[in-house]
Structures are given as structure tokens and as C-alpha cells.
Amino acid sequence: MRGPLPFLLVVPFDTSLFEQDSCLSGKFLGNYRDGSNINSVLITNEECISSWTSQTQPLSAAFAPAAQGFRQLVWIEEEAVDPSLKTVIAEDEFKQFLERLSSPPAMPFEQTFLESEQNIFIGTYQDASYEIFYQTPTAALLSVNSRVAIHLDAVLPRYWKSTPVPSFPVEYIPVPPSSVDPVKSVLANLAYDSTVATLVDGISIPQMRNDIRFLTGEDGQSGIVSRHSFSQGARVAAAWLKQRFEETGATCQLMPFMQGFAPNVICRYESVVNTTGTVIISGHYDSRGSFGSTRMPGGDDDGSGTTAVLSIARAIARNGVKFHQNVELVAFAGEEQGLYGSRAYARELRSLDANITLMIQADMLAYRKPGEPMQLGLPKSIGTSEVAQLVANISSLYSPELEVGFTSACCSDHQSFFEQGYASTQVFERAGPIADPMYHNSGDLSDREGYDFDQLKAIAKVQFATILHYAGFELHK
Ligand SMILES: *[C@@H]1O[C@H](CO)[C@@H](O)[C@H](O)[C@H]1NC(C)=O
Ligand SMILES: *[C@@H]1O[C@H](CO)[C@@H](O)[C@H](O)[C@H]1NC(C)=O
Ligand SMILES: *[C@@H]1O[C@H](CO)[C@@H](O)[C@H](O)[C@H]1NC(C)=O
Ligand SMILES: [Zn+2]
């Protein structure tokens, strides 16, 4: 006998949907953004839909794709960008995307994949079919060939991004009070500490300038043209980052997570007291460029976040800082294809029941729109609000020059941790949507108007001060 047919649902996010005896518990495929709304994707059956009691009604319901193994569901969305950057309306962009997606294949996928090891991938596919399950002017849920899914960034419009929807549903895992309470307690006892101030002030702008110029290839030494996840440059960057972090006393591993992708760089400083507690501070070192160009310097996105994390490592080493919790400094890959690297790592940590007490992702820190003050943006929707509040208050103590506010720019690698129930947030360069005119562009260099090393340092100080306050520390010098 056949079981009930699986249905895909898109529903406005509402925690009450997942409460105990709901037929939706254990059917969660993740939360995804559409404009200023957060939607959940669920997989369920007809029976569950016919017994629907919640006030929250599905936005769409459709039969799930057949042949699950070969088809990959992806969520695509228009990112929050400043209206001044937009020249094409979202609907037209989406139409063009579908045209590119369905253009006939020029060469078999395997061949393009091999090429992509050396170069960037801009090509077509063997199976160019797609199916749309949900669509608005600013987001869509579609299924594509699973091998096409990891290359979508090459055909998506510049201000759109894709996130793969997991193949198997899980329980919705909220961040538990036991993870939020320690954040509240650090917040309640927060006070200016002159030792912390000295440590964070020591972050070096000339060093950051050097580091970013290596990553973007602007220094003429690294040979990096692109840090696209499939590029040779990303592998050069990963090896270089590992070495630099190890020089600061960290123990690093290159963590492969999927064939073809450059690895995550995961570096750890063991706690000097006996605890499983671990604080993670991260950025993503992979980059994305404009259509048809192999140059993807990713100076701001996210060379800036990566450099900030490295600047913290260098300051740890210079001052002999030892922490009272384990501290991991991480540079993820696969972010631009849809958080692949961080998802793999966050899931691994959850499966080991790892005690990740705090996670803060830095994604795009350096661009300051001319005429605007230095800023620090915190995510409006995806993330733990108490962690954002802690970061905001620490900012006012150590980088009072930053104007702190919320941003609708959303959903970097912290989302992977947040959906595994870990307390997390993101730091961003602006209290508003993305305004960097070189976003996802070959011109995303560090040597250009608006790339502000003072703002980059000010935000790196906040990240470092947050680790020092949250993990606790002593100085061995
Ligand atoms: C954090 O900052 C907010 C807003 O600036 C302030 O009202 C609050 O008292 C601060 N909290 C702590 C614990 O310092
Ligand atoms: C660390 O703490 C755990 C759990 O309390 C204990 O089992 C272990 O023996 C301790 N290790 C050391 C080196 O003290
Ligand atoms: C996790 O680490 C924190 C910070 O060190 C500690 O207080 C807490 O007891 C740990 N939790 C577990 C379940 O070990
Ligand atoms: Zn980014």
C-alpha cells in the first residue's frame, strides 16, 4: 500500500507550529527569508494538511518532487540591498535567471566540474529542467538537478542568493534557555575593562591591510584571482590561513565537507580551565564575482570578515591571551553556494552534542558609504537577540564611534548554527541593507573608495572584546 503523498509547505515561521502533538513536528526543512518575512519549509502529508488547526496558514502547498535523490530543492531570494544599487527589477532578474537556468547544455556536467577545479564555473548543465513550488517577486522554492544546485551562484542575478533545502526533515530546534541565560548573565554584569580595551586596541590596521591584500590578490604575491569555492585560489587561501592561524598558537584543521569545494579552516585555542564550552568567531573566505569574469577578489565579501578573524588571532598571540573557554576561529567555504561549509560543521557539532556557547559570524565589515558614519549592523531576524544585544553593548564600550543598528541583510553562516539551536548572531558593516556598489563584483578590492579600515578595526575590536568578556581570559606574558 502506498503511504500518503508528501507535500511541501511554505508557511510563515511560527514556533507554535512545532509544538508537541503537531503533525508538523519533525517535518522541518528550515527557515528562509522572503523580503522582510521569514518562512518555514516543511514536508508533510495530505492528512496533516486536512487536519490543520493553526491560525497560521500555508502560503503554498505542493506535491514534493519525485526522485528525491537526483533533485535538490533550493530556496532563492533577493538580498536586502539599498535601493540606490538596484537598476533591474526583481521580477525581470528572476525571469532572466530562469532563462539562463534552462538554456541548453553545452557540455556534460562532469567536464565542467573538472574545469571548475582550476577555474570558476560558468557553464550549462546536462539537466536544465527545474520545477517551481513557490514564487513571489523576491523569493522562490524550486527543484533542480542536485549537481546544478551547487553551481547556482553562477547563474543567479548579482543580488540573489540560493540556499539548498536539506533532503531530510528534522525537528525544529530553538535555542534553549540554558544557552541564552549565560548570555543574559554576561550582559547583566558587563562593565568596561581596561585590560580588554588595551588588548582590542592592539589590533593592527597595517597588518589587516597586508592580510587582505594577500587574500584579494592585490599584493601581486599570492597569485589569487578568485576565492570562489571551486577555485584554485580558494585552496591557496585555505592553506595560507591555516598557516597564519597556526603561527598564533592555534591548532587548525582543513575540514573538507563536499567534493569540489575548498575546505573550512577550523582553528582552536584550548581553554586553560577544564570545560567543554566553546566560543566560535567566524567569517567566510570564499568569494563570488560578476557574470563572465574570473576575477573575484572578495575584498569586502568576505575578505573583511576573514581578515578581522585573523587580526584577532594575531592579537591573541602578541599578548599571550589564554581563554577560560575553548575558542575557535573559523573561516568557512561554500557560503556563497548556500552556507554549505558552515552547515556541515554546525551539524557535525550538533551530532556530537558539542557545547557551543556562542557563535558570531562576521560577513562584510569594511564598506562605509561615503557620507555615512561608521556603523555596525546586527541581524533583524535570523539570530539570537540576546547575543545581538551583548554585541551592541560591548560595541558601545570599546568602539563607541560605531553607530549600532539593525540590518535586513541576512543569513550568513551564523544561520547554520542558529538552526542547530546554538546562540548566535552576525556582525555587518551597515545598520541598513547592503550598500556596497562592488558587492559580488570583480571590483570588490580593498584599495578603493569606501573601503574603511578604521571601521573594519572597530568591528574586529567588538568581536574580540566579546570573546574576552564571554569566555574569560588570562594573560601569559
Ligand atoms: C545595553 O544597552 C542598552 C541600550 O544602549 C541599555 O539600555 C542597557 O542598559 C545596556 N545593558 C547593560 C546590561 O548594560
Ligand atoms: C574535566 O572535567 C570532567 C567533567 O567534570 C572530568 O570528568 C575530567 O576528569 C576533568 N579533566 C581534568 C583534566 O581535570
Ligand atoms: C558548557 O560550557 C559552559 C561554559 O564553560 C559551562 O558552564 C557548561 O556547564 C557547559 N555545559 C555542559 C552541558 O557541559
Ligand atoms: Zn558574504
CATH (domain of 240)? 3.40.630.10
How many beta carbons lie within 10 A of that of residue 68, not counting itself?
15
The verdict on the CB of residue 217 being under 6 Å from ligand 3 is no
Is residue 385 one of the residues assigned to a domain? yes
Shared-domain flag, residues 283 and 398:
yes
Is residue 172 one of the residues assigned to a domain? no
- Out of 164, 191, 213, pick the residue that ends a domain: 164
Question: What's the CA-to-centroid distance between 324 and ligand 3, angstroms?
Answer: 11
C-alpha cell of 272?
A: 586553560
Is residue 124 one of the residues assigned to a domain? yes
The answer for residues whose C-beta is within 8 angstroms of residue 17's C-beta and 6 or more apart is 11, 24, 40, 42, 54, 56, 172
Shared-domain flag, residues 302 and 159:
no
**CB of 56 closer than 8 Å to CB of 7:** no
Shared-domain flag, residues 148 and 203:
no
How many beta carbons lie within 10 A of that of residue 127, not counting itself?
14
**Residue 13: predicted pLDDT:** 94
- Whether the per-residue pLDDT at 233 is higher than 80: the answer is yes
**CA dist., res. 104 & res. 188, Å (int):** 59
Most informative mutation of 278, 355, 359, 470 for ligand 3 (most atoms within 8 A of CB): 355
- Whether the per-residue pLDDT at 337 is higher than 70: the answer is yes
**CA dist., res. 147 & res. 459, Å (int):** 37
Shared-domain flag, residues 272 and 293:
yes
The verdict on the CB of residue 96 being under 6 Å from ligand 3 is no
Q: How confident is the model at residue 232 (pLDDT cuts 50, 70, 90)?
A: very high
Is residue 170 one of the residues assigned to a domain? no
Q: Which ligand is nearest to the CA of 182?
A: 3
Is residue 140 one of the residues assigned to a domain? yes
**Minimal-distance CA residue to ligand 1 atom 3:** 393
Report, as an integer, the average pLDDT of 375-400: 97
The answer for residues whose C-beta is within 8 angstroms of residue 339's C-beta and 6 or more apart is 163, 411, 412, 413, 415, 416
The verdict on the CB of residue 163 being under 6 Å from ligand 3 is no
Question: What's the CA-to-centroid distance between 355 and ligand 2, angstroms?
Answer: 15
Shared-domain flag, residues 321 and 433:
yes
Shared-domain flag, residues 123 and 187:
no
Protein residues whose CB sits closer than 6 Å to any atom of ligand 1:
187-188, 190, 393
Q: Which ligand is nearest to the CA of 470?
A: 3
Is residue 169 one of the residues assigned to a domain? no
Is residue 171 one of the residues assigned to a domain? no
Report, as an integer, the average pLDDT of 117-128: 45
Q: Summarize pLDDT for 249-275 with one digit per residue, the tens.
A: 999 999 999 988 999 999 999 999 999
Closest-lying ligand 3 atom to the alpha carbon of residue 182: 7
Instruction: Quote the number of domains for the chain.
Output: 2
**CA dist., res. 425 & res. 418, Å (int):** 8
- Out of 164, 189, 204, pick the residue that ends a domain: 164
- Whether the per-residue pLDDT at 363 is higher than 90: the answer is yes
> Which of 82-96, 365-379, 447-461 shows the lowest per-residue confidence on average (mean pLDDT)?
82-96
**CB of 424 closer than 8 Å to CB of 383:** yes
Shared-domain flag, residues 151 and 21:
yes
The verdict on the CB of residue 277 being under 6 Å from ligand 3 is yes
Is the pTM higher than 0.85? The answer reads yes
DSSP single-letter state for residue 13: -
Q: Which ligand is nearest to the CA of 354?
A: 3
**Residue 460: predicted pLDDT:** 98
- Whether the per-residue pLDDT at 210 is higher than 60: the answer is yes
Report, as an integer, the average pLDDT of 290-307: 92
**Minimal-distance CA residue to ligand 3 atom 8:** 277
- Percentage of residues in the chain with pLDDT exceeding 70? 92
- As a whole number of Å, the end-to-end CA separation of the chain is 71
Shared-domain flag, residues 158 and 182:
no
**Minimal-distance CA residue to ligand 3 atom 5:** 277
Shared-domain flag, residues 394 and 285:
yes
**Residue 130: predicted pLDDT:** 87
The verdict on the CB of residue 472 being under 6 Å from ligand 3 is no
The verdict on the CB of residue 271 being under 6 Å from ligand 3 is no
Shared-domain flag, residues 159 and 293:
no
- Out of 130, 164, 198, pick the residue that ends a domain: 164
3-state helix, strand, coil in the chain (%, to 5): 35, 25, 45
Shared-domain flag, residues 88 and 184:
no
Report, as an integer, the average pLDDT of 381-387: 95
Shared-domain flag, residues 76 and 145:
yes
Which structural domain range is residue 385 located in? Answer: 177-475
DSSP single-letter state for residue 39: E
